[in-house]
């Protein structure tokens, strides 16, 4: 009887304290369909193999930031294969324009990752909804760069060429409503890193491993890729996402400018409920990025480097400002006199005054005779 008493007491205490824990930690508020549409609009028309990697990589915002800085400093894009990032981040790093966009808009990237972790079905339905809007507007059609495939009500977007993939350029505020064809600029290689695809009906991603017998773009591109165990490996059969991204701080106020699809939708509800402190900058993990060229030629650990870091040769003297600028919105034109005056001031501070030129020879002879 004495042994049962402590156990019974612990059970009662647990039952009494459980409601308090629930109240102190309410479940996170989900994103609304309009909010998710605004988040997915910039990438909804990307080809499926690239979009799949973007969604997974968005759950690793710290690695996206690190990869962006690495790619800017590294002369060889293949160096990303040796980095300790998630395979999805490595895949996106092979497409610098996409990687740079995700790194520059880290609040958007993080929120997209949060939405995918918590509401992956809603995210995929949003993509399909927006693709249907773009097709209805006459903007989503097969081109030499991208193939539009209707697979029983779901819209697949495949690379139209077996060796290359193109990233579409479009304005999300227009393409889903009015006639505005997609533009395709730089082409990128299709590599083994595009190892994931969509199961739209099942609302999930799957690892295809470049196995033979796959239909569509996979079979078409398979002869042109170089498979390595960096990207083709059985350990990727379970597509891994970073679920801790939901705990990352986001400046939801900055997300309000992403309202291209639904103008009346904003993210103020997250700020009001205190899910994330308002106007809090994202916490980024600053990881040193190595540069092989610099490390090979300079001792970056030399303490003398800091003696010159951030120092300037001197304080420049302030330049006089013309009474009115050369271009004034009130006049709406260009004033050549003000521009000329500003040019004289700039030239005067750009170089020291020249010494006076020596007098001509005849004048020098007359001055010498006067002296004698």
How do residues 301-326 score in pLDDT, each as one tens digit?
565 555 544 444 444 444 443 443 33
The answer to whether residue 214 is domain-embedded is yes
Question: In whole numbers, what is the pLDDT of the chain averaged over residues?
Answer: 78
The answer to whether residue 305 is domain-embedded is no
The answer to whether residue 23 is domain-embedded is no
- 91 pLDDT exceeds 70? yes
Domain that includes residue 246, residue range: 33-272
Task: Check residue 253 and give its pLDDT.
Answer: 85
The answer to whether residue 4 is domain-embedded is no
For residue 179, the SS3 value is coil
Interhelix angle 33-40/120-136, nearest 10 degrees: 70
The strand pairing partners of 166, in sequence order, are 187
| Count of domains for the chain | 1
The answer to whether residue 326 is domain-embedded is no
Alpha helices in the chain (DSSP H): 4-24, 33-40, 48-57, 61-73, 87-93, 96-104, 106-118, 120-136, 172-175, 217-221, 252-255, 268-272, 292-297, 305-308, 336-350, 361-371
The answer to whether residue 236 is domain-embedded is yes
The answer to whether residue 328 is domain-embedded is no
Q: Find which of 234-243, 269-278, 284-293 is predicted with most confidence, using mean pLDDT.
A: 234-243
pTM of the model: 0.69
The answer to whether residue 52 is domain-embedded is yes
């Amino acid at each position: 009887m004495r042994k049962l008493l402590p156990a019974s007491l612990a059970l009662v205490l647990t039952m009494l304290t459980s409601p308090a824990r629930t109240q102190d930690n309410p479940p996170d508020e989900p994103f609304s369909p309009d909010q998710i549409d605004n988040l997915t609009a910039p990438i909804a028309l990307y080809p499926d193999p690239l979009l799949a990697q973007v969604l997974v990589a968005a759950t690793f915002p710290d690695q996206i930031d690190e990869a962006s800085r690495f790619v800017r400093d590294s002369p060889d894009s293949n160096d990303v294969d040796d980095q300790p990032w998630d395979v999805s981040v490595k895949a996106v790093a092979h497409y610098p324009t996409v990687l740079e966009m995700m790194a520059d808009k880290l609040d958007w990237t993080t929120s997209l990752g949060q939405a995918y972790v918590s509401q992956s079905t809603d995210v995929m339905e949003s993509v399909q909804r927006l693709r249907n809007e773009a097709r209805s507007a006459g903007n989503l059609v097969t081109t030499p760069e991208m193939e539009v495939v209707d697979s029983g009500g779901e819209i697949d977007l495949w690379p139209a060429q077996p060796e290359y993939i193109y990233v579409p350029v479009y304005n999300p505020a227009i393409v889903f409503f009015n006639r505005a064809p997609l533009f395709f600029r730089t082409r990128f290689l299709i590599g083994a890193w595009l190892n994931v695809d969509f199961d739209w009906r099942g609302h999930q991603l799957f690892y295809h491993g470049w196995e033979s017998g796959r239909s569509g773009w996979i079979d078409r591109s398979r002869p042109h890729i170089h498979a390595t165990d960096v990207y083709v490996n059985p350990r990727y059969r379970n597509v891994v996402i970073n679920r801790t991204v939901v705990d990352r701080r986001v400046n939801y106020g900055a997300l309000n400018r992403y309202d291209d699809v639904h103008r009346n939708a904003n993210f103020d509800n997250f700020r009001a409920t205190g899910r994330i402190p308002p106007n809090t900058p994202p916490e980024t993990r600053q990881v040193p990025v190595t540069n092989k060229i610099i490390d090979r030629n300079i001792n970056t650990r030399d303490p003398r480097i800091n003696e010159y870091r951030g120092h300037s040769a001197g304080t420049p003297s302030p330049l006089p400002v013309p009474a009115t600028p050369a271009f004034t919105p009130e006049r709406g034109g260009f004033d050549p006199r003000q521009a000329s005056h500003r040019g004289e001031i700039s030239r005067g501070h750009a170089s020291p005054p020249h010494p006076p030129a020596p007098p001509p020879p005849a004048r020098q002879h007359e001055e010498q005779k006067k002296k004698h």
